[in-house]
Structure 1
Amino acid sequence: MNARRKFLTQVSALTAGAALSSSFGNNAFAILKNKPSDQINVGAIGIKGMGWADLRATLKMPGVKLTALCDVDKNVLDQRMGELEKLNIDARKVKTFGDHRKMLEMKNLDAVIIGTPDHWHCLQMAEACQAGKDVYVEKPVGNSIEECRIMTAAQKKYGRVVQAGQWQRSQQHFQDAMDFIATGKLGNIRTVKTWCYAGKQDIAPPADSPVPAGVDYERWLGPAPMRPFNRNRFHYSFRWFWDYAGGLMTDWGVHLLDYALLGMKADLPKTISAAGGNFGDASSPMETPDTLCALYEFEKFNLIWEHAIGVSKGLFNKHHGIAFIGNNGTLELDREGWEVIEEGGSQNKVAMERQKSVDDGLDKHTENFVNVIRSRKMEELKCPIDAA
């Protein structure tokens, strides 16, 4: 436990701001003067889920080379190393790590992708910036306002390119929908609804168990409280427990509320209220609410978020979406496309048949990240850390 006490001391130093001082050497903080023809060496921390998807999308860009992989679960690490041949990557030239700090010491590493559970994002992003690396960090970027402030401070102090994984910002049909809203054709928008109905989640009530072979469980816990291993709190289902994440609200809600706010050009709400709980399955060990409705009150409109786990269809018969409800019509937007449903009796003729998505948002988002690494034009990032 001495190692864990030392680790938590480092985390406390970070939250106090001390970790924004040098621990990697002054040379690490110099911004790389990348030319368009330069090779970008990337590594990934946390490669079980979205971290692997983000990495694969990034590697589609010319001039991007995989240099290192890091995961606290050696089983995952071995699996991904075995898949590199399918990506035409020589695994012998890729270094592997169980501790992200060791990976960040690599001199030839230019950028890192962080796909770890949410409770790790703040510390790893700040340390990567401190080590002179550009960062693509999965959403939600942090689990608290304090963490988000630390992350924005780290980006500003070290001048690194930091892209948050809200990839819908790079998807063309989302921008097209925003452009339509900006025309004012919907009339006065008084209500915006966002939702996700996630269907059944496999969360059984198993007992605690020994740590699986190959897993560095203390490092997986990191800044979270020490507790016995339980498979329900590991890998994908970590998101249903408060020690690590915020449930469906911070999983899907981040994406959808983001575009609701963009469409309304909104800043901070006047008030926020919420009601919910675990109403769907009394036997589930899930801590975060399986049913939730949140109301954000703004000066001239209300924004609503709702979700339910165990139900697969929500408003407009959609798993997820955003609805901008105006006097003349409603614009419904989701990852597959958007349409405008005209208000009955309206004389404005705003109806718009469904406009389908035509691109891959994740590919476009990682492409934007790589382009800004080369150009250093921070203003061109689709989702910089301060926006996320």
Structure 2
Amino acid sequence: MTDAIVPSRRRFLRSASAGAVAVAAPAIVRSAGESNKIRLAMIGPGGMGSNHLRTLCQRKDVEFLWIIDADLDRAAAGAKVVNELTGQSPKTAQDMRRAIEDPSVEACFMATPDHWHAPGAILAADAGKHVYVEKPCSHNLREGRLMIEAAKRNGVRIQVGTQSRSTAHVREIIEKIRSGIIGEVLVAKAWNSQKRADQGHQPETDPPSNLDYDLWLGPVPAVPYRKTYHPAHWRWFYHFGSGDFGNDGVHDIDIARWGLGVETHPSRITAMGDKLFFEDDQEWPDTLYCGFEYAAASGGKKRQLVYEQRIWSPYVQEGHENGCAWYGTEGMIVGGKAKGWQIFGPKNQLIESLPAKGVDLAAHHENFLSGIRGGGGELHAGIEINFLSSSLCHLGNIAFRTGRALSFDPAKETFHGDEEATGLLRRTYREHWATPQGV
């Protein structure tokens, strides 16, 4: 597949800036007699992408035109799911540009490995597509900022897959916090305690024939293929993922930050972590503790956010494998998105319990699709919102990798006096058609 199959990035940008209409009216507009179905492409139909497909196929207002995956077998499997559930026959391809160049595609769902999230989403936005991208929104902090800029300049909307933001019981507990039920919240904590699998040791080898490994790598520097990378375990390596903090922990740190009420970056970050249990190839720590301090707003107090991770232990805190706690001046709340929430008063008395039944993926889809169809309404996990939460994963990981406390400038999005840490806010790319501008 040559680069000529898709309009150049320069042409995308020129057309996006040619008229204010696209920016002012990002909603999908239908001509008389045209189908009301939103035309979609799924990029990355395996793993979480499969969950998206099966949930979206329950809707009557969407149509899949493309299923894209660098792995031909996965693309074919995704198309088969769509056909069996809806009767639709989407096209398949390994190169995402096939869908991005198609003017009929109105929105892209992107469930690729992390290293493709920002490059793919920016390409789609520059082509005028709305985007639903999996969490974390980016592989590094700088990419997240570029995604915000891409959405703004093209007048499109980007939703991130932290579906707890659209889940009724999570939204209810946040409303309880906002009502002052536990007073002023100064500290929040999120944790991720579960037993993951050992990744073993895999030698360098040739990729399987069904996988276009060069497309799978995308704009990141090429490294030899290992079976550990594909299809699922890329997330445990610096080059492609952000560890379990960006995999599962991002959901809970997002909820915790939401309840804490901070809408900026932290000013100080500390971390301690290691591989205490696993003796395999994975690079990210299996044990991690991060602390984030937020500077006091005008007339307010400092706030702190804590993250704990142990992915080798079945121990669950307060009865929750993954969970959150908020500590207020008049009480505390503890719980999780799977089992619910308990609210305690100033004398440690139980005030209220709120049940939970997991997370509502369909509600998150509805929030995105109604937002792009009508052009209005808040995206519950819009790119500007999720950028701050995904960035916590990146900032905490940087503190772990440098091994020292870091001072961060939230406005300039850079570290004070630390070149090594600042260098980890972005990455090196190879020359490639998907390398984002401004990196």
TM-score (structure 1 length as normaliser): 0.87
Helix, strand or coil: the match of 1:332? strand
Matched, 1:63 2:55: no
SS at 2:273 equivalent: strand
Secondary structure, counterpart of 1:142 in structure 2: coil
Query: Using the alignment, how far apart are the partners of 1:290 and 1:358 within structure 2?
Result: 28
- The amino acid that maps onto 1:366 is H
Residue type of the partner of 2:287?
A: T
Write the distance in 2 (CA, Å) between the matches of 1:196 and 1:82: 34
Measure the CA separation in 1 of the matches of 2:206 and 2:371. 44
Say if 2:225 is the partner of 1:229: yes
How many angstroms apart in 1 are the aligned matches of 2:233 and 2:112?
13
1:280 aligns with 2:277: yes
Structure 1 residue 253: Cα displacement: 2.4
Question: 5+ unaligned residues in a row in structure 2: which ranges?
Answer: 297-301, 387-439
Q: Contact 1:58/1:370 (CA < 8 Å) preserved in 2?
A: no
Identity in percent: 28
Distance 1:288 1:34 in 2: 47
- Mean Cα displacement is larger for which, 153-162 or 248-257? 248-257
Question: Where in structure 1 are there 5+ consecutive unaligned residues?
Answer: none
The partner residue of 1:192 within 188, 191, 195 is: 188
Rate the CA distance shift 1:20–1:140 in 2: closer, same or farther, 3 A.
farther
Stretch deviating more after TM superposition (52-61 or 112-121): 52-61
CA drift at 1:209 = 1.7
Q: Which amino acid aligns with 1:371?
A: S
Contact 1:34–1:373 (8 Å) recurs in 2? no
Q: Per-residue deviation at 1:82? A: 2.9
Task: Tell me how many residue pairs correspond in the alignment.
Answer: 369
Alpha-carbon distance in 1 for matches of 2:347, 2:16: 66
2:406 corresponds in structure 1 to none
- Counterpart residue type for residue 275 of structure 1: M
> 2:228 is paired with a residue of what secondary structure?
helix
Structure 1 match to 2:325: 323
RMSD (CA atoms):
2.7
User: What are the equivalent positions in structure 2 for 1:154-303 lying under 5 Å apart?
Assistant: 154-266=150-262, 267-281=264-278, 283-298=279-294, 299=296, 300-303=302-305
Q: Deviations over 1:98-145 (max 9, x none)?
A: 100122111211111000001001111111111121111111111122
Counterpart mapping for 1:44-59 below 5 A = 44-59=42-57
Q: 1:113 aligns with which of 99, 109, 112?
A: 109
Aligned AA (1:51) = G
CA shift digits 1:139-166 (9 cap, x unpaired): 1111122111111111001111211111
The amino acid across from 2:183 in the alignment is G
C-alpha distance 160-331 of structure 1, shift in aligned 2 (>3 A): same
User: In structure 1, the residue corresponding to 2:194 is in which secondary structure?
Assistant: strand
